[in-house]
Amino acid sequence: MEMKRVIVVGGGPKSYIPDLKAYACDECIWIGADQGAEVLVEQGVAPDIAIGDFDSVSERSLAEIKKKSKHVFVYPDEKDETDLELAINEALRLKAGHILLFGVTGGRIDHSQANMQLLYPLMKENVKSAIIDRQNRVELVSAGEHKMEADECYPYVSFLPVTLEVTDITLEGFYYPLDRAYLPFGSTLCISNRLIEDTGTFSFESGILLVIRSTDLPT
């Protein structure tokens, strides 16, 4: 049975957001958080849910969002959750098994960092999730053995520890292999690797990794 995919679009810089229709599926649910709902409408996608305080869109744009969206939830400016967190909560309420996040990188570092940290509760709930922009695909991964398929759109692979240490990391099928290496927080040992096989594996005994697949932008 295929996991229910929910695509959440935040209000990050629009220049970072790829063509969203390339990630569509037959049963996709589209959620726009604040200006992310405007992005969906501009790309010709009708939001299933538009949510947030909408302080980043004009009254005219908000009227268009309300016209095109199936459901609109407007919150006050002052609240405990960010608009993106509200959108993710809606995705979880809908029993999402796979969440793709767009429009959550670029611009202010505090926003980007906080958005990446939202991957942690999703990982704990066993919800497959990824942050995607024009240059990167980011996932948070717990200890164990994992397969990775080659992707010419994102040829570089970096593994960053987000815990104080990651132990016994092994990389197979990569240009720079590793065998049970120690990766402490702050290490750059696993930056800018790449697959040399169609499929590679990475495994580690303990800790949590931020797995970043990326590409160089054309000059």
pLDDT in tens, 141-166: 999 999 999 999 899 999 999 999 99
In the three-class reduction of DSSP (H, G, I as helix; E, B as strand; rest coil), residue 128 is classed as strand
For the cut 70, the answer to whether the pLDDT of residue 81 exceeds it is yes
**In this model, does residue 214 exceed pLDDT 80?**
yes
Q: Which tokens is 21 given? A: 């229709």
Verify that 166 and 108 share a domain, yes or no.
Answer: no
User: Nearest to residue 96, comparing CAs of 117, 125, 74, 71?
Assistant: 125
Q: Say if strands 199-214 and 156-161 run parallel, antiparallel, or are unpaired.
A: antiparallel
Query: Are the beta carbons of 96 and 5 closer than 8 angstroms?
Result: yes
What was the pLDDT predicted at 218?
65
Q: How many domains does the chain have?
A: 2
How much is the pTM?
0.92
Residue 1 has pLDDT above 60, yes or no: no
Q: Which of 99, 134, 169 is the last residue of a domain?
A: 134
Q: Answer with the one of 106, 134, 162 that is the final residue of a domain.
A: 134
Q: What is the pLDDT of residues 88-126, one digit of tens each?
A: 999 999 999 999 999 999 888 998 998 999 999 999 999
User: Could you tell me the pLDDT band of residue 2, with boundaries at 50, 70 and 90?
Assistant: low
Give residue 129's domain range.
Answer: 5-134
Instruction: Look at the block and give the residue holding tokens 């995919």.
Output: 5
> Cα(122)–Cα(187) distance, rounded to whole angstroms?
25
One domain, residues 89 and 11: yes
Bridge partners (DSSP) listed for residue 210: 140, 160
Question: Is 119 within 8 Å of 138 (Cβ atoms)?
Answer: yes
Q: Which two tokens stand for residue 183?
A: 């990766």
Report the C-alpha gap between 188 and 167 in whole angstroms.
Answer: 15
Give tens-digit pLDDT for 160-209: 999 999 999 999 999 999 999 999 999 999 999 999 999 999 999 999 99
Mean pLDDT, the chain, rounded, equals: 94
Residue 178 falls inside a structural domain: yes
Q: What is the CATH number of the domain that holds 176?
A: 3.40.50.10240
Distance of CA 51 to the CA centre of its chain: 18
Q: Which of 115, 119, 127, 112 lies closest to 209 in space, CA to CA?
A: 119
Residue 176 lies in a domain: yes
| Assigned domain for 219 exists | no
CA dist., res. 180 & res. 81, Å (int)? 40
For residues 37 and 69, the answer to whether their CB atoms sit within 8 Å is: yes
Residue 217 predicted with pLDDT over 80 = no
Task: Verify that 189 and 107 share a domain, yes or no.
Answer: no
pLDDT band at 77 (very low <50, low <70, confident <90, very high): confident
pLDDT digits (tens, 9 = 90+) for 94-104: 999 999 999 99
Do 150 and 129 belong to one domain? no
